[in-house]
Amino acid sequence: CLKCTRVKLLDRFLEAGIKAEATQWSPQGISVLSGPAVDKLPGFAEGYFQIQGEASQLVTYIVSPLSGERILDACAAPGGKSTHLGEFMKDEGELVAIDISARGIAKIRENAARLGLKSLRVLSADASAELADKVRGPYDRVLVDAPCSGLGTLRGHPEIKWHRDENDIRRLSRLQSKILSRVAAYLKPGGVLVYATCTLSPEENEEIVESFLAHHNEFELEDAARYLPGQATHMVREKYFVALPHRDNTDGFFAARMRKVC
């Protein structure tokens, strides 16, 4: 966070009698083990931290944004990655977050204001449709945190398995492919495209990326391990980032980093 370090926030939690510890894989995260509701935690109202899963935090490392760049975050709600990207950029540059949900857009704006992020611009837009009149590329980096089945979050939301079937996976995979192809057009040559989901379904992950690369030979897959903190590189398999709940004690997460080479 721009306003507070992890060490200082841990000290503040300790003083307040809140049980918390540094996360194992993310160098910036804190796990709150017991305490009040999130909005009652010390420092929340002041914008000292944002709520985000540990595996989700690691996706920002894979994007690896730099100060002064133009970044597009597609399908951005509820905004955890958007605000994390802004903090990585030291709030310098231009970060455009788009989402189709009015409620999601309101939440991103609320959190950006609380955290004091000035570089973050939030727009209502459908990432699967034509965006040229709204997002005005090109961008240095594009993140697609795609709508997905959410099967990687079963440990916190076990009810999901009763509301998903093969038809859902097929429908979502078509949407994911469409979004990825749409937003890739707004990336400059040499730019970075990251595709991420909170599911472990190959139809929504590796197969989407492989199909995209087969139809877009101007992109190549990069090794996600090169951009992760050293303690998290074991989560990379065949260049893909794959966080596993039973192994890593995180939500299940997938990410692929691609570069536009021409």
In-domain check, residue 49: no
In-domain check, residue 48: no
Q: How far is 43 from 141, CA to CA, in rounded Å?
A: 31
Percent of the chain with pLDDT over 70: 98
Same domain, 36 and 58: no
Same domain, 202 and 131: yes
Reported as a pLDDT band with limits 50, 70 and 90, residue 152 is confident
Of residues 130 and 199, more confidence is placed in 199
DSSP 128: T
**Alpha-helical regions (H) of 116-165:** 132-135
Residue matched to tokens 């495209």: 193
Q: Which of 1, 75, 148, 198 is catalytic?
A: 198
Of residues 131 and 115, more confidence is placed in 115
- Tell me if 181 sits within 8 A of 213, measured CB to CB: no
Residue 1 known to be catalytic: no
Q: How many Cβ atoms sit within 10 Å of the Cβ of residue 113?
A: 12
Supply angle C-alpha 12, 243, 217, rounded to 5.
125
Sign of CA dihedral 232, 256, 91, 50: negative
The total of structural domains in the chain comes to 2
Reported as a pLDDT band with limits 50, 70 and 90, residue 132 is low
**Mean pLDDT across the stretch 225-254?**
98
Same domain, 88 and 183: yes
Q: How far is 82 from 122, CA to CA, in rounded Å?
A: 9
Same domain, 192 and 78: yes
Whether 162 shows a pLDDT value over 80: the answer reads: no
In-domain check, residue 245: yes
pTM: 0.95
DSSP string, 28-52: T-EEEEE-S-GGGSTTTTTTS----
In-domain check, residue 124: yes
Whether 194 shows a pLDDT value over 80: the answer reads: yes
| Domain extent for 26 | 6-40
Whether 161 shows a pLDDT value over 80: the answer reads: no
| Mean pLDDT across the chain | 94
**Mean pLDDT across the stretch 24-43?**
95
Whether 157 shows a pLDDT value over 80: the answer reads: no
Same domain, 18 and 132: no
